[in-house]
Amino acid sequence: MPKKIPVRKAMVYLIFFILMIKQLYSYAGMGYTLIENSTYGFQQLPRIGGVTIALDYLALALLITLFLVEYPKIIRKLTELGMTALLVMTGAVVCWAFITLIRYGAKTVLYSETTPEVYLTILAVVVGVDDKLYGSFSRIALRMGVFSLAASLTSYLLFLSKHPSGLMGNTAALILYVQGFWLVVIGSIDYFKKRKKRAFICFLMTICMVLALLFNARSYVIQSLIWTLVFPYITTQKGKRGRFRGVWAAVAIGGLAFAFVANFEPHLFETFMEKTDRDTRSFQYIELFSQTNLKDFLIGQGYAFQYYSPTMGGFYSYIDNGYLFLMMRYGISICLPYVLLLVMGIYNSLFYNKERLIRGYSLVLIMWMCALGGLSVYTMLVFDIKCLAIAVVIGRCLAIHREKRKKSEKGAKTDARP
């Protein structure tokens, strides 16, 4: 008999493959332009058109279909609170999508990367709650991360060939790097089980650190150090010397990365060091809060909300804080359930599983919450690979509590038998 085609697994692969193709196509052949009010900072705007829109909505359609097919399993595996938060967030996204469609038309909904429907990335929890689907994801996570970092480095070298003394802003190299970082962090959890693979993970974190320094991304230097330091500590049993291997690994990785950049790209290293004590966030908060009130953040002002920035000399709709960005547009109806799902995932991973490696998922979610809170630039909820991967991790953590409760109930029934 012919083997059955694993349709559900194929859908998982297709979703991520389609989004990777879309991302590469978006930036292929696109030039660089000077950032406004800058003499050496460059940005690279992605290509947006029929092809990219079709790929986005094809991936979204596959995700929604997979969620609906797996819905009965999701109900059984999530707690009532987790399921409620998921449905409330999904319902709020649908409502805001209709409001945006009515107010601003189909073109805005289709072409923008921050319209409400992009927050349906949360539906990717379906991949995390199912062991087989998660197995499919875990097999490609690290590979996609390595590919993203390689593509980022290639894009960076192309940038240097055109602008040797330029400083990168929002470009393909940075977008691919951020994506690669999160995929490497998530994918390394399963690889860490094998001692022979740990050296490879340390090598990848060194690459992440070097690229963060080259890209002047201090937040990802911090994130790389956090992962290297904390992950071995929380996933290794007490009393074992390996619990503190992260300290030595962080010193080695950080030292190698700083030495490499200082010797081969001294002007970038100098720019990075100058930025370390610079405050690039506070003025945004002061300007935003001076023009808004509590009601604006509770209810939301809709897709087109903007505030005036005297510092930047114009109207802006963006702020380096994913939570505030969500609330000033769509209120707490989307933001609060998402944060609740993150917190529940962290709690479950830390306290409802005896397998220490599972705690690595909680660290991923804590780092993601910090990134959204303003630690990392260019980090916000959009419909892309990294946000889907985070939703997968949330789903993995949310299923832990229900699985433990079922095992406890099964054990109690066994003990009760005469």
The answer as to whether 173 is a domain residue is yes
Is 156 within 8 Å of 214 (Cβ atoms)? yes
Domain assignment present for 2: no
pLDDT score at 85: 92
Residue 148 lies in a domain: yes
Q: How far apart are CA 55 and CA 385, in angstroms?
A: 13
Residue 129 in any domain: the answer is yes
pLDDT band per the 50, 70, 90 thresholds, residue 235: confident
- Residue 262 belongs to a domain: yes
pLDDT of residue 241: 61
Q: Is the pLDDT of residue 151 over 90?
A: yes
The answer, yes or no, to whether residue 271 has pLDDT greater than 80, is: no
Mean pLDDT of the chain: 83
**Residue 33 forms beta bridges with which residues?**
43
The mean per-residue pLDDT over the stretch 153-167 comes to 85
Tell me the pTM.
Answer: 0.90
Confidence of residue 42 (pLDDT cuts 50, 70, 90): confident
Nearest Cα to Cα of residue 375 among 97, 180, 85, 178: 178
State pLDDT tens for residues 195-227: 667 778 888 888 898 888 888 888 888 898 888
Asked whether residue 278 carries a pLDDT value surpassing 60, the answer given is yes
Tell me, what's the pLDDT at 403? 54
Q: Which are the contacts of 249, defined by CB distance < 8 A and separation ≥ 6?
A: 202, 205, 228, 229, 232
pLDDT of residue 54: 92
Ranked by mean pLDDT, the top range of 15-24, 182-191, 267-276, 277-286 is 15-24
Inter-residue contact 342 to 369 (CB < 8 Å):
yes
Segment 255-271 shows an average pLDDT of 72
Q: What percent of the chain has pLDDT over 90?
A: 32
Answer yes or no: is 174 within a domain: yes
107-132: string of b/e by CB count within 10 Å (b at 16+)?
eebbebebbbbbbbbbbbbbbbbbee
Q: Among the listed ranges 101-110, 140-149, 269-278, which one has the minimum average pLDDT value?
A: 269-278
Q: Are strands 41-43 and 167-168 parallel, antiparallel or unpaired?
A: parallel
Instruction: Give the structural domain span for 68.
Output: 7-416
Q: What is the pLDDT of residue 88?
A: 94
Number of domains within the chain? 1
Is 1 a member of any domain?
A: no
Q: What's the confidence (pLDDT) of residue 317? A: 79
Beta 33-34 vs 167-168: how paired, if at all?
unpaired
> 183 lies in a domain?
yes
Q: Are 317 and 304 contacting, i.e. CB atoms less than 8 angstroms apart?
A: yes
Nearest Cα to Cα of residue 119 among 303, 382, 302, 398: 382
Assign 377 a pLDDT band (cuts: 50, 70, 90).
Answer: confident
